[in-house]
């Protein structure tokens, strides 16, 4: 369970990134965070695993405060939270397998991982993760030989190998084309349903949020302006989140070439 | 493509008709048309730069009493020297092979140890990896200090401390390689992609694991390339270190020149040239493969 209590973040120049946020996310939820660029989606997500520090409040992961943790306890909390990035953040010069295995380092001592050797069980786990995202045949290819969608699936495999209980995905499909977007979102949804991993995704496209998420959180100027199930997230409510009527820009379906639309209701 | 063909066609016709006239008599004849265009910047700055450079050259040649006359006066001596150098004494080859091998070994060991010491220092120098400016600025300053000492001077100092032989030469090359590799590596480190580092933080990696998995794979090829490049330089540098008694082929330069045995000197030069060219070639090819 993720719990945010009165979380605020003020940047050194005085702008408020997050403003008094209170949230509770239960295990197994698939949450989509929506909002305009600069609304604080990324800041919110990155404060959950403390890639960003918050200025006020407390964030608890399964009862343990990540805000106050440091050193090994902080690393242990982070080990349980996988993250997926807009730009994939793979090491491009390393093989796919090594990138996935990098997700395992939190389980071993620094000394043991110094020369990049992993136990058989870890390699097996990495292969299973690659199989789950259907990219196992690329295991020994260099990451930069893969397309964007394939790279993002490797990043998902890394999170799976990490055996994370929570997945944070920061605009995971923003640099992908519509069809690849569907594949990646399907993978995320499947993992959420099959493995029960709590998934929190920042999304720009409203229809994606509606078709994949079970709960939608709307952010505007660092404040939560909507929090509820998909059924309540009507166009009118979205208009409130965005402060204006929904634009075609915010719909992925209008960007698809043919009539095929996302039908990914799980 | 073009939704409005009219202006296009018109301008085409006009352009064809007026092309030559427009281009050649632009500024004076049709100044009225070009009033909005910016003026070309003045060339004065370039002329002044050239004048200053010429003055500096002239000043330094006066100061060092170098002149073209002296060069011409000295040229018969140069020809004499060249004449004495040829034909080279091929049989001398057998005498200098061990010294040449020693030179290469010195370069190899110096480069290796320099590279090993350079790794931690480069990591400390990189502003994107070091914790604060309080660490990387002083380390950089020390590194720059090391780099200001010429290798020949280093060798002379080490000879004074440890006596004659290849050991001081190796140590000089170690220090020299360390400075060069650390500098090149930390500059490359500062250009790496931050993404993988962020990803490693998010999987709960320790700071050493972050470096092993997020930094090393990104920098590996560059680092090896820098080490090879330093090795090339070191072979050349090691060849002259013998002049100050720090072992290697340089010693034979001194001896043969001292005894005016220029044919032997020529043999050494040719041999050195061949070895350096070979190593440069191999190293360049390897570095091309790497990057």
Answer whether A85 sits within 8 Å of B220, measured CB to CB: no
Number of Cβ atoms within 10 Å of the Cβ of A56: 14
Structural domain contains residue B36:
no
Residue B172 shares a structural domain with residue B74: no
Answer whether A116 sits within 8 Å of B206, measured CB to CB: no
Report the alpha-carbon distance of residue A152 to residue A133 in Å, rounded.
Answer: 10
Among candidates A51, A93, A114 on the partner chain, residue whose Cβ is nearest the Cβ of B202: A51
Least confident of A78-87, B66-75, B191-200: B66-75
Answer whether B203 sits within 8 Å of A106, measured CB to CB: yes
Q: Which of B68, B85, B102 is the last residue of a domain?
A: B85
* Residue among A75, A34, A76 nearest A204 (CA): A34
Q: DSSP string of B89-120?
A: -GGGHHHHHHHHHHHHHHHHHHHHHHHHHHHH
The stretches of B126-249 forming alpha helices (DSSP H) are 133-148, 151-162, 166-189, 195-202, 207-210, 216-241
| pLDDT in the model for residue B5 | 44
Structural domain contains residue B209:
yes
Q: Which residues of A fall within a CB distance of 8 Å from B218?
A: 91-93
Report the alpha-carbon distance of residue B67 to residue B61 in Å, rounded.
Answer: 7
Residue B261 shares a structural domain with residue B163: yes
| pLDDT in the model for residue B181 | 94
Answer whether A116 sits within 8 Å of B214, measured CB to CB: no
- Residues A137-189 have pLDDT tens digits of 999 999 999 998 899 999 999 999 999 999 999 999 988 888 889 889 999 99
pLDDT band at B183 (very low <50, low <70, confident <90, very high): very high
Answer whether A81 sits within 8 Å of B195, measured CB to CB: no
pLDDT band at A256 (very low <50, low <70, confident <90, very high): low
Structural domain contains residue B163:
yes
Residue B69 shares a structural domain with residue B143: no
Q: What is the mean pLDDT of chain B?
A: 82
B80 vs A53 pLDDT, higher one = A53
Residue B237 shares a structural domain with residue B105: yes
Among candidates A90, A106, A113 on the partner chain, residue whose Cβ is nearest the Cβ of B212: A113
pLDDT band at A261 (very low <50, low <70, confident <90, very high): very low
Structural domain contains residue B98:
yes
Instruction: Tell me what the mean pLDDT of segment B207-217 comes to.
Output: 90
| CB A246 within 8 Å of CB A235 | yes
| pLDDT in the model for residue A243 | 72
Residue B66 shares a structural domain with residue B135: no
Give the chain B residue nearest A112 (alpha carbons): B209
Instruction: Tell me what the mean pLDDT of segment A46-68 comes to.
Output: 91
Residue B281 shares a structural domain with residue B156: yes
A71 touches B: beta carbon within 8 Å = no
Structural domain contains residue B9:
no
The CATH number of whichever domain residue B168 belongs to comes to 1.10.3720.10
| pLDDT in the model for residue A97 | 94
Judge whether residue A31 has pLDDT over 50: yes
Judge whether residue B15 has pLDDT over 60: no
**Segments forming the whole domain that contains residue B80:** 44-85
Report the alpha-carbon distance of residue B271 to residue B274 in Å, rounded.
Answer: 5
Choose from B192, B202, B215 for mutation: most chain A CBs within 10 A. B202
Q: Which residues of A fall within a CB distance of 8 Å from B196?
A: 89-91
What residues contact residue A125 under an 8 Å CB cut-off, 6+ apart? A104, A161, A163
| pLDDT in the model for residue B25 | 47
Among candidates B203, B217, B220 on the partner chain, residue whose Cβ is nearest the Cβ of A105: B203
What is the DSSP-derived secondary structure letter of residue A259? S
Query: According to the per-residue pLDDT averaged within each range, which of A186-195, A248-257, B56-65 is highest?
Result: A186-195
Instruction: Tell me what the mean pLDDT of segment A234-243 comes to.
Output: 77
ipTM confidence: 0.86
Least confident of B10-14, B73-77, B268-272: B10-14
Residue B158 shares a structural domain with residue B62: no
Choose from A72, A91, A104, A110 for mutation: most chain B CBs within 10 A. A91
Distance from B218 to chain A by nearest Cα, in Å? Answer: 6
Structural domain contains residue B39:
no
Answer whether A114 sits within 8 Å of B212, measured CB to CB: yes
The residue to which tokens 């799976």 are assigned: A160
| pLDDT in the model for residue A255 | 54
Residue B66 shares a structural domain with residue B195: no
Report the alpha-carbon distance of residue A108 to residue B162 in Å, rounded.
Answer: 45
Judge whether residue B282 has pLDDT over 80: yes
Give the chain A residue nearest B220 (alpha carbons): A93
Structural domain contains residue B141:
yes
Distance from B105 to chain A by nearest Cα, in Å? Answer: 28
pLDDT band at A90 (very low <50, low <70, confident <90, very high): very high
Judge whether residue B42 has pLDDT over 90: no
Residue B80 shares a structural domain with residue B98: no
Q: Which of B54, B85, B116 is the last residue of a domain?
A: B85
Number of Cβ atoms within 10 Å of the Cβ of A113: 22
Among candidates A75, A90, A94 on the partner chain, residue whose Cβ is nearest the Cβ of B204: A75
Residue B265 shares a structural domain with residue B151: yes
Q: Which residues of A fall within a CB distance of 8 Å from B199?
A: 83, 85, 89-90, 102, 155, 158
Choose from B204, B205, B211, B290 for mutation: most chain A CBs within 10 A. B204
Distance from B22 to chain A by nearest Cα, in Å? Answer: 47
Structural domain contains residue B22:
no
CB-based burial of residue A173 (10 Å sphere; 0-12 exposed, 13-18 middle, 19+ buried)? Answer: buried
Q: Which of residues 137-156 of A touch B (CB under 8 A)?
A: 155
| pLDDT in the model for residue A45 | 92
A55 touches B: beta carbon within 8 Å = no
Could you tell me what percent of chain B has a pLDDT over 90?
27
Residue B189 shares a structural domain with residue B279: yes
Tokens of A20: 């008094």
Beta-bridged to residue A228, according to DSSP, are: A216
Answer whether A79 sits within 8 Å of B220, measured CB to CB: no
- Residues B109-137 have pLDDT tens digits of 999 999 999 999 999 998 888 878 888 89
A85 touches B: beta carbon within 8 Å = yes
Q: Which strands form A56-61's sheet, in the order they lie side by side?
A: A16-25, A2-10, A56-61, A64-65
Report the alpha-carbon distance of residue A177 to residue A196 in Å, rounded.
Answer: 27
Judge whether residue A134 has pLDDT over 80: yes
* Residue among B185, B175, B111 nearest B147 (CA): B175
Judge whether residue B14 has pLDDT over 60: no
pLDDT band at B13 (very low <50, low <70, confident <90, very high): very low
Domain count within chain B: 2
Q: Which of B30, B61, B85 is the last residue of a domain?
A: B85
| pLDDT in the model for residue B289 | 82
* Residue among B193, B219, B208 nearest A105 (CA): B208
| pLDDT in the model for residue B22 | 47
Could you tell me what percent of chain A has a pLDDT over 70?
93
Residue B143 shares a structural domain with residue B237: yes
Report the alpha-carbon distance of residue A89 to residue B25 in Å, rounded.
Answer: 57
pLDDT band at B4 (very low <50, low <70, confident <90, very high): very low
């Amino acid at each position: 369970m993720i719990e945010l209590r009165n979380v605020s973040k003020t940047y050194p120049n005085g702008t408020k990134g997050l403003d008094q946020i209170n949230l509770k996310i239960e295990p197994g939820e698939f949450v989509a965070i929506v909002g305009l660029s600069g609304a604080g989606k990324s800041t919110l997500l990155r404060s959950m695993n403390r890639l960003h520090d918050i200025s006020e409040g407390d964030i608890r992961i399964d009862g343990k405060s990540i805000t106050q943790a440091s050193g090994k306890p902080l690393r242990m909390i982070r080990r349980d939270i996988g993250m997926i990035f807009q730009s994939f953040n793979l090491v491009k010069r390393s093989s796919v397998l090594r990138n996935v295995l990098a997700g395992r380092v939190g389980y071993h001592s620094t000394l043991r991982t110094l020369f990049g050797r992993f136990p058989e069980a870890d390699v097996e786990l990495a292969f299973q993760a690659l199989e789950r995202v259907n990219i196992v045949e690329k295991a020994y290819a260099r990451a930069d030989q893969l397309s964007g969608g394939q790279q993002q699936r490797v990043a998902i495999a890394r999170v799976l190998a990490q055996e994370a209980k929570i997945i944070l995905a920061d605009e995971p499909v923003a640099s992908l084309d519509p069809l690849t977007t569907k594949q990646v979102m399907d993978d995320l949804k499947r993992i959420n349903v099959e493995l029960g991993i709590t998934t929190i995704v920042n999304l720009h496209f409203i229809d994606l949020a509606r078709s994949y998420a079970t709960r939608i959180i709307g952010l505007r100027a660092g404040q939560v302006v909507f929090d509820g199930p998909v059924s309540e997230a009507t166009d009118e409510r979205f208009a409130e989140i965005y402060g204006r009527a929904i634009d075609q820009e915010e719909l992925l379906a209008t960007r698809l070439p043919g009539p095929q639309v996302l039908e990914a209701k799980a | 493509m073009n939704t409005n063909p009219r202006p296009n066609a018109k301008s085409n016709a006009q352009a064809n008709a007026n092309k030559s006239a427009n281009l050649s008599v632009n500024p004076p004849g049709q100044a009225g048309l070009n009033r909005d265009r910016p003026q070309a910047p003045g060339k004065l700055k370039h002329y002044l730069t050239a004048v200053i450079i010429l003055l500096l050259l002239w000043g330094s040649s006066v100061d060092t009493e170098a002149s073209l006359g002296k060069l011409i006066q000295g040229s018969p001596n140069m020809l004499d020297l060249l004449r004495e150098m040829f034909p080279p004494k091929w049989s001398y080859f057998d005498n200098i092979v061990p010294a040449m091998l020693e030179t290469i070994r010195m370069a190899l060991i110096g480069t290796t140890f320099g590279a090993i010491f350079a790794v931690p220092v480069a990591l400390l120098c990189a502003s994107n990896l070091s914790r604060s400016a309080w660490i990387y600025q002083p380390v950089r300053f020390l590194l720059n200090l090391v780099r200001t000492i010429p290798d020949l001077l280093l060798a002379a100092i080490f000879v004074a401390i440890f006596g004659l032989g290849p050991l001081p030469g190796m140590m000089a090359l170690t220090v020299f390689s360390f400075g060069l590799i650390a500098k090149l590596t930390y500059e490359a480190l500062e250009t790496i992609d931050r993404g993988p580092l962020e990803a490693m933080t998010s999987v709960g990696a320790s700071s050493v694991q972050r470096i092993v998995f997020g930094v090393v794979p990104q920098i590996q090829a560059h680092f090896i390339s820098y080490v090879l490049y330093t090795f090339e330089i070191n072979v050349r540098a090691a060849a002259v270190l013998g002049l100050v008694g720090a072992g290697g082929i340089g010693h034979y330069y001194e001896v043969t020149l001292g005894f005016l045995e220029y044919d032997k000197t020529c043999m050494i030069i040719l041999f050195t040239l061949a070895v350096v060219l070979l190593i440069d070639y191999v190293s360049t090819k390897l570095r091309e493969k790497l990057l």
